[in-house]
Amino acid sequence: MTSHLSRRTLMTGLCGAATLPALGAAAGKAVAQQAVSLRAAYHLTPPSGWLSDPQRPAVTPAGHQLYYLHSDRNNAPGWWQRASSPDGLTFADGGTAIPLEPNFPVWTGSSVIDTENTAGFGAGAIVVLATRPSGGDRFRQEQYLYFSTDGGVSFTAYGAPVIPNPDGSDWFRDPKIHWDAHRGEWVVVIGRPQSFWFATSPDLIHWTYRSSFGYADPNIGGFECPDLFELTADDGTSHWVLGGSTQGDYTGRPDTYAYWTGSWDGATFRPDSRDPQWLDWGWDWYAGVTWPDPGSPTTRRFGLAWMNNWHYAARTVPTDVSDGYNGQMSITRELRLARQPGGWYTLLSRPHPALARRAKRTVVLPDQNVDGAKVLEFASDAYQLDLEISWSDAANVGLSVGRSADGSRHTNIGVYAGSVYVDRRPSDRADYSFGTYGQSEAPIDPTARSVRLTVLVDRQSVEVFVGAGFTVLSHQVFFRPGDNGLSLYTDGGAARFSGIVVRDFA
């Protein structure tokens, strides 16, 4: 038993990962040292303190009720904080929803609306299952129930765990529950070492184990924040999707959200293919959650994630100093399931459709023919950029965002040797370095001679959506104040940059 117990300090021993840095100082102590705010302009951040895993929102008449893990110190024991939104894109703080108890933190889980009162707390009650380490013992990760009768503002603890730990493993976490309308029962999926654990229930209280789905070779670590949902594809066929956050870099894969398409028969998930696909190829899209788009729940979902990575998460960052907080969520993205020419199905991502309407101004820049480098006449630290790049012989084409006035600092986004990449190393800060995790890349068609990009830049992040959204790369970037320029570049030949539209949120 430890006096200060956080879920990820427990992970390090099991995963074999390097020891995480020491806990940061209490949030806000050094805010006065830096006058310029670095707070994200259009991403969800906490009012103060530490933010990590999001919890799938409950959509109520009052809007989306999103919860996230929150603490007053970096990577310390915490609670569920509420953030409400009318559309799942722009959030306002709603205070503590499930509080911290001494030596008994609340970890990740999920909420559902019990429309038919199956649990007996009242029709329309919001019911949560969340992992807690019983007695502060890491080997007793168990699933506890909470319920709310005030629309998700506050919760009451039910009591003893409703899903006890079946074998004493210290990796039995993050229950994700949904109503299976085909069979009239609740389904939960729980993350385990290299597997998913499934159970069903008539009432959210009494659960029956059904099966497990394992994936051990290649090693992508244990599964956290698992996800199971049904979605209708663009050809009208219905498919189940099983996903979860992983440590894929063990074997050269992303540290983000791996997923399989397949079928669910009420007891067993059967994948369409052995190996997973990836919802994001960057370093910072972890603990992702998805939920139905209320406007089209069978064909579209929304998703967002914590923009961080456990290789470097538990440390002080620039916003601790400038604004007294640590952590932000990704932009909310829209997800659709699309059939590919080979007959397989994949999730396509694009920024939430309402994001463009939040722009304070829209700037259309002239097309550019570039052979070398070109600095554009635009400056902002928070915007969405859409453009197309086409080339014939160039070996490397791209753009630099967050460019300092002298050009020495910038983050590169480009295409080289059959890959699209984000390289934040030229923006790296010695005092907050990302070390060896400076660049990520994702495969694209090596014969392609054009690419369409949507780039989201905020004061401490970059997200890149490629083409129709099959590939996304999400990153923290610790831009300094004044890193707000934009330039284009090529190596080994010329390229044309066209359709350049910037939506400014600053």
Catalytic residue numbers read 53
Q: Within a 10 A sphere around the Cβ of 404, how many other Cβ atoms?
A: 16
Q: Computed from CA positions of residues 31, 34, 36, 40, in that sequence, does the dihedral angle turn out positive or negative?
A: negative
Give the list of residues 6+ apart from residue 406 with CB closer than 8 angstroms, or none.
Answer: none
Cβ atoms 462, 456 nearer than 8 A = yes
Beta strands per DSSP E along 62-108: 63-71, 79-85, 92-98
Q: Which residue reads 């070996």 in tokens? A: 395
Edge to edge, the sheet with strand 411-416 lists 373-375, 485-491, 396-403, 411-416, 419-423, 439-443
The DSSP H or E segment spanning 336 is strand 333-339
Residue 289 corresponds to which tokens in the numbers above? 């959650």
Q: CA quadruple 364, 89, 421, 480: dihedral positive or negative?
A: positive
The Cα 385–Cα 468 span in angstroms is 15
> With DSSP H G I counted as helix, E B as strand and the rest as coil, what are the percentages for the chain, rounded to 5?
5, 45, 45
Are 329 and 305 within 8 A, CB to CB? Answer: yes
Give the integer Cα–Cα distance in Å for 291 and 307. 18
